[in-house]
Amino acid sequence: MASEDKFESVLSTRYCKNSPLVSILSETNKATLWRQLWIWLAEAEKELGLKQVTQEAIDEMKNQKNTFDWPFIRSEERKLKHDVMAHNHAFGKICPSAAGIIHLGATSCFVQDNADLIAYRDSIDHILKRFATVIDRLAAFSLQNKEVVTVGRTHYQTASLVTVGKRGVLWAQELLMAFQSLSEFRDKMRFRGIKGATGTQDSFLTLFNGDEEKVEALDELVTKKANFAKRFLITGQTYSRQQDSQLVFSLSLLGAAAKKVCTDIRVLQAFGELLEPFEKDQIGSSAMPYKKNPMKSERCCALARKLINAPQEALTILADQGLERTLDDSAGRRMLIPDVLLTAEALLTTLQNIFEGLTVQTDNVKKIVDDEIAFLGLEKAMMMLTEEGVDRQQAHAVIRKTALEAKQLQATQKVDIRQTMADPFFDSVRDRVVGLVNNPINFTGRCVSQTENFIEKELKPTISKYLDQSAAKVQLDV
């Protein structure tokens, strides 16, 4: 059946079809990891003196690790209603010398949980690299526009001037904090290890004739082979699903930060100040051919909502895990965690494309600044007047009256700062204010140095571990 004739996830077929995550989270990779875990377990058991595990059996498993008889596996699972045992039988069938020691002492969660953790770790490593590239691209945009003066906005209304670059690093800071959360989670991830059916390690204690030190060494050895620095010292049948919740929450922070950034871009595109990349043959509207809609930022907002809402399900999975283990978590985790990882990848890929092509509509930005500069000059006038001994509250009252009168004129004519400050009250500061108004960068405070300092002192050191300087630009298929 052609793929177009059946439903498939839009994450894997539309937004992430070229991503390595599609392979990392695939059924084949999961099954390969299960077999690798069986090999590591057998190796560790042999290294610790378990005589029933032979080198011949280990070599056979290694040689057949990537040989899959999927029709047989599916047939076994239909019959047994147990995916791990179906794979166990299939692996034993092609590894007759190892059939008796595959999965020795283990429970299903030995392969299920540990393989999931390896796949999550590998996915996170890729996402952090993508994330670092996204932040780096935004930093480049911010530096390029660090001196481009624009109108600041509070409550979506005109406020003191800022620069486009300073606004960019505000966005970068939100994304960087989410990046740090995910990076810290990656560093603290714990492996389940070998714990047995209810977490007591009793089966392994039996295999090693009650030798607790060997069981502890076995747990450490398998953890080391899987390249994890940390492991859970205690578990039930599964590792704590709170760790999954922490992963999902870190990705939800990415969603919230990205939604804030992309909502801002959409608003600024509506104001005519920014323009997200619009490709040569791209169509904005089937009905209105002239339109350039911010569809990439809109897509990011839609994907972000999925991430923002995901923690509720993760917390429910954690809360519903009964005693040493129930299957309340199983179906939900199979869907939730791959989905949030792929959603994060789709979001970051689109965001990278936006930052690589985001342009400032400089003529319109300048026009908006020119329209508002007179009012911002009055704010400077208040500071200057107080320096000369004028009561701050008196200055505020006069400037408020002057500004509101000028606002009424703004709808029909350009507001001139000298005319606005014609009142003799401003005689002592008028010329100084007019001089400043002629160069709007004077109204942006430390925007330029703040932009440079944040990028050099905080952003670059934080992302350096994962940043690939040769990362290619993103070309979106859809």
Mean pLDDT across the chain, nearest whole number? 93
244 and 146 in a common domain: yes
Annotation says 245 is catalytic: no
pLDDT score at 207:
96
Structure tokens at 57: 């059996």
pLDDT score at 372:
84
Beta strand 149-154 pairing with 157-163: antiparallel
Range(s) of the domain holding residue 401:
364-443
CB distance 152 to 160 below 8 Å: yes
Residue 463 lies in a domain: no
Residue 384 lies in a domain: yes
Structure tokens at 80: 């047994």
pLDDT score at 283:
57
pLDDT score at 438:
85
197 and 168 in a common domain: yes
355 and 384 in a common domain: no
247 and 318 in a common domain: yes
83 and 39 in a common domain: yes
pLDDT of 308 higher than 60? yes
**End-to-end CA gap in the chain:** 24
233 and 136 in a common domain: yes
In this structure, what CATH number is given to the domain that contains residue 336? 1.20.200.10
Cα-based angle 256, 257, 262 (whole degrees, multiple of 5):
100
pLDDT score at 22:
97
Residue 470 lies in a domain: no
**Which of 360, 388, 422 is the last residue before a domain boundary?**
360
The active-site residue, picked from 23, 82, 285, 396, is 285
Mean pLDDT along residues 5-16 = 91
330 and 295 in a common domain: yes
Annotation says 87 is catalytic: no
CA–CA distances in Å: residue 168 to residues 141, 231, 261, 372, 451: 7, 39, 9, 21, 8
Give φ, ψ of 148 to 5 degrees.
-80, 110
Tell me the pLDDT band of 2, cut-offs 50, 70 and 90: low
Beta strand 274-275 pairing with 157-163: unpaired
139 and 213 in a common domain: yes
Residue 250 lies in a domain: yes
pLDDT score at 408:
84
Cα-based angle 138, 251, 348 (whole degrees, multiple of 5):
35
CA distance 346 to 353: 11
The active-site residue, picked from 87, 123, 126, 155, is 155
pLDDT in tens, 316-343: 999 999 999 999 999 999 999 999 999 9
Mean pLDDT along residues 265-288 = 80
**Which residue type, as a one-letter code, is found at position 290?**
Y
Q: Point out the least confidently predicted range of 11-15, 35-39, 171-175, 264-268.
A: 11-15
pLDDT in tens, 44-68: 999 999 999 999 999 999 999 999 9
Q: How many domains does the chain have?
A: 3
421 and 337 in a common domain: no
Residue 23 lies in a domain: yes
pLDDT score at 388:
87
Element (H, E) at 159: strand 157-163
384 and 334 in a common domain: no
**Which of 313, 332, 360 is the last residue before a domain boundary?**
360
What is the Cα 131 distance to its own chain's centre? 6
Residue 113 lies in a domain: no
Mean pLDDT along residues 10-35 = 96
pLDDT score at 256:
98
137 and 94 in a common domain: no
pLDDT score at 1:
45
pLDDT score at 324:
93
pLDDT in tens, 365-415: 999 998 888 888 888 888 899 998 999 999 899 889 988 888 887 767 787
Residue 460 lies in a domain: no
Residue 343 lies in a domain: yes
**Which of 334, 360, 386 is the last residue before a domain boundary?**
360
CA distance 370 to 354: 28
335 and 216 in a common domain: yes
